[in-house]
Structure 1
Amino acid sequence: MTTRPHASADLSSVLTPALLESLRDRAATLDQSNSFPHQDLQDLARAGYLGALAPRELGGLGWDLSDVVGGQRLVAQHAPATALAVNMHHVWNGVASILAAHGDDSLEFIHRESAAGEIFAFGISEAGNDAVLFDSGTVAEPLQTGGYRFTGTKIFTTLSPVWTRLGVFGKTPDGAQLVFGFLDRASAGWSADDSSWDMLGMRATHSHTTRLEGAVVPADRIVRRIPAGPNADPLTFGIFASFLTLIAAVYTGVGERAAQLGAEALARRTSRVTGQPLSHDPVLRYKAGEATLRGITQDTLLRSVVADIVAGADWGPEWFPRLVATKTQAVRTAKAQVDYALEASGGAGFHRAAEITRLYRDVMAGVFHPSDDESAHNTFANLALGPLTS
């Protein structure tokens, strides 16, 4: 069973069956050749999907976050790596939407430029930075012009071959402020390193290492200066909310496809002992029922959290744990679904060319997206028991 992602937008008029099938048709080859999905991005852009969150008056589709979450589930069911790549573009657009809903139009340019064909990428992650958005090893040096010069290394920069705008952040030399801005691809002072890009799964994302070597972001593209350390700035909330829910959407979609493959395999395979399809076997029916239970539960959780974001619900200090729980549960569910589907597929599923083996590898990437399991459980424990005192 595949849960049908519902949204207020007419997803099928943009993500048409023909478009989605073409993504699936290319996915295996892209994975095998370790190639970037250039054609996928072009087709999605032509359909208007990269401007989905931009208001209609800015040239976009006028979707809200729940619509895009539904869309990302569909794309992930057909081409997980393409979905994860597009996700990072949608993350910045989601941040712009969340801020705009609260009266802050400072990121309107993201919507406007996305609708015009620009591609936004996420240059935030740094090796060993478990503080994530609350600290940075990248230096943001202030310039007399009001711009900043960024020097540091960003890892897993998804969309590396094609981004035109890179959202980056760094810390001022005095350690007092975190500075967020958007780097134009045409700017000097940066380079991408693809020399080690040969990953277990989600290979087509081409999330290369990006080295900022004095890259200058002009004053008009500096969007925030925030005191270093934990903070409740709306931009910080917007990034966490958009990133975690859209990551959850991708892995929810992967899990949905895996469950579908499992069900199809049980219906197709026949027991030599009974002569009946394995879908009649009581033990395997129980496992299929468990997979369905997991899928419905994840669907309900994701819909609820995204609806609260769109509605502007006030969960106060519970917001971050709820967002982390949604991402954590999505990855756990997807991993369980691919386990079920691989078992249901029998020995044929263990073949390297089988779709389920690719999903089995792809889903492992979810372990590494923030928040990881250790960080997530620390968040949950702090909510339940309070933070540790020194």
Structure 2
Amino acid sequence: MDLTDLLPDELLERFRTRAKGYDERNEFFHEDLAELREQGYLAMFASVADGGLGFGLAKAAAAQRRLATAAPATALAVNMHLVWTGVAHLLHERGDDSLDYVLTEAVAGEVFAFGNSEAGNDSVLFDSSTVAQPQGDGSYSFTGTKIFTSLSPAWTRLGIFGKDSSGEESVLVHAFITRQSPGYRIKDDWDTLGMRASQSCTTVLEGVIAPADRVFRKLTVGPNADPLIFSIFACFETLLAAVYTGLGERALQIGIATVNQRMSKKSGKPYSQDPDIRWRIADAALAMDGLYPQLESLARDVDERVEHGSQWFPKMVGLKVRATETARTVVDLIIRVSGGGTYFAGNELGRLYRDVLAGIFHPSDDESAHGTIANAWLGPLES
């Protein structure tokens, strides 16, 4: 399916119009989600034969980039569903069918969310503060607090993980719970500067049970070469970069339109004829032009199973950092040429300015990314 058929201009314009209201009311994007589901968007990673769209990571990233030009918060939250379905797709393509049910259920309308982030856990997927307690029948109870749980009002399946320290060696247990599972609660605490429609509320796990058939991985604590870890990083970082690339792309579009419309009282010409403003627009365009091919090539390399060896993780975190930082720089440049109207509540560019700041907080953060890249090129720090 062509992306303009999946996300036609008129659909994007509805999303863009609603984004303003969602942001002002701090409200979840229920209407957007319903329309995306109707388009088959949530099943993009499932095969056509199974009722999906048959997308790989490159095409999914292109779709998310396009969606983010209209509604970044919608795209960011949908990312979390697409991470899990993308992971299931990548594992299946590599001969691992352990998460095939994720694709089947996505086609059936289930919404998956990502409940792994924890406050203060800078080990990300390599350790957990959540306690995973074995129940004797293969099931596990989970007790802990997960932050930034996007899709909080809508998910029907939540991927979580925690640490089981009951044996000789601690293991990290990955599992899914359903919305009907007792033993968790969602805080109504999402009142943020930006990305407000994502409604990424805190989820408190209070002994919630994941049944044995939904416990899908047990991994040792610390860095791990398991395909699950690679797949999560590949989907999370690439799709995240796609959202912020789309956000920066939209900011540049707004800037070009604005400077062509604004007239200088001094010269009587549009601001697009001012050399200083032209320089800023060119600077923003140059920055974005370097981002598009990096996003496309890395996603394509994942799909085509190009062998990057130890450079895979540096490439993935590097893409995330470059996308979020480039988008932030571009939005700032465009605001500087767009006039004081952008400072008023409800202005789209002002909302993008707030939304783009969320990129600072997504893993891998700037410090972690630089550490990963330094270790890849220079080796680990000496003890």
TM interval, shorter chain, is over 0.9
Cross-structure match for 2:42:
50
**Residue in 2 aligned with 1:187?**
181
**How far apart are the structure 2 equivalents of 1:162 and 1:302?**
29
1:308 to 279, 294, 301: 301
Q: What is the alpha-carbon distance in structure 1 between the residues aligned to residue 92 and residue 174 of structure 2?
A: 17
Q: Is the aligned partner of 1:123 residue 2:121?
A: no
Q: State the SS of the aligned residue for 2:339.
A: helix
TM-score by length of 2: 0.98
Aligned counterpart, 2:137? 145
Residue number among 333, 337, 348 corresponding to 1:355 in the alignment: 348
Q: CA deviation at 1:67?
A: 1.1
Q: Which residue of 2 aligns with 1:207?
A: 200
Q: SS in structure 2 opposite 1:78?
A: coil
Amino acid at match of 1:150: F
Is residue 35 of structure 2 the alignment partner of residue 67 of structure 1?
no
Q: Which 4+ stretches in 1 moved above 6 angstroms?
A: none
* Residue 64 of structure 1, CA deviation: 1.2
Give the deviation of 1:63 after TM superposition: 1.2
- Equivalences for 1:14-33 in 2 at 5 Å? 14-33=6-25
TM-superposition CA deviations, 1:113-145 (whole Å, max 9, x none) = 001100000000001000000000111111221
Deviations 1:181-200 (A, max 9, x none): 11111111111011x32100
For residues 143-172 of structure 1, what are the alpha-carbon distances to aligned partners after superposition, in whole Å with 9 as ceiling and x for unaligned?
221111111110110001110000000110
Matched, 1:339 2:329: no
**In the alignment, structure 1 residue 222 sits paired with structure 2 residue 215:** yes
Q: In structure 2, which of residues 294, 317, 328 is the aligned counterpart of residue 324 of structure 1?
A: 317
The DSSP-based 3-state class of the residue aligned with 2:253 is helix
**Cα distance between partner residues in 2 of 1:294 and 1:234:** 33
Please state how far the C-alpha of 1:40 moved relative to its aligned partner.
0.6
CA distance in 2, matches of 1:60, 1:197: 32
TM-superposed CA distance for 1:57, in Å, is: 2.0
Work out which of the residue numbers 202, 226, 234 in structure 1 matches 2:227: 234
Deviation string for 1:25-51 (max 9, x for gaps)? 100110000001111101100111011
Counterpart CA distance in 2 for 1:202 and 1:349 is: 17
How big is each residue's C-alpha offset from its partner over 1:310-341, in whole Å with a ceiling of 9 and x where there is no partner?
11111111100000000000001110111111
Match of 2:86 in 1: 94
2:272 maps to what in 1? 279
Q: Deviations over 1:1-46 (max 9, x none)?
A: xxxxxxxx41111212221111111001100000011111011001
Helix, strand or coil at the partner of 1:171: strand
Query: What's the Cα RMSD here?
Result: 1.0
Deviation at 1:272? 1.8
Letter aligned with residue 125 of structure 1: S
- Once residues 54 and 82 of structure 1 are traced to their aligned partners in structure 2, the CA distance between those partners, rounded to angstroms, is 21
Q: Distance in 2 between matches of 1:46 and 1:22?
A: 15
| Alignment partners' CA distance in 2, 1:355 and 1:90 | 26
Residues 334-355 of structure 1: per-residue CA shift (max 9 Å, x gap): 1011111111111122222211
Give 2:126's aligned residue. 134
2:65 touches 2:246 (CA, 8 Å); kept in 1? yes
Tell me the SS of whatever aligns to 2:223: coil
Provide the residue aligned with 2:366 in structure 1.
373
Could you tell me how far apart the structure 2 residues matched to 1:263 and 1:344 are? 9
Which one of the candidate residues 1, 14, 31 is aligned to 1:39?
31
Secondary structure at 2:190 match in 1: coil
CA distance in structure 1 between the partners assigned to 2:26 and 2:227 by the alignment: 37
- Residue 173 of structure 1 deviates from its aligned partner by 2.3
Q: Report the Cα offset of residue 383 of structure 1.
A: 2.0
Structure 2 runs not aligned, ≥5 long: none
Three-state SS of the structure 2 residue aligned to 1:220 is helix
Shift of 1:273: 2.0
Task: State the partner residue of 2:378.
Answer: 385
8 Å CA contact retained: 2:142, 2:209: yes
CA–CA separation in structure 2 for the residues paired with 1:266 and 1:382: 44
Aligned-pair distance for 1:244? 0.3
How far is the alpha carbon of 1:384 from its aligned partner? 2.5
Letter in 2 for 1:67: K
Correspondence for 1:10: 2
Letter in 2 for 1:163: W
TM-score by length of 1: 0.96
Q: Give the distance between the partners of 2:342 and 2:25, measured in 1 at CA.
A: 20
Pair 1:265-2:258 in alignment: yes
Match for 1:253 among 246, 250, 256? 246
Aligned partners of 2:226, 2:73: CA distance in 1, in Å?
A: 31
Alignment: residue pair count: 381
Contact 2:144 2:206 in 1 (8 A): yes
- 2:280, 2:334 within 8 Å by CA — same for their partners in 1? no
| Alpha-carbon contact 2:284-2:334 (below 8 Å) kept | no
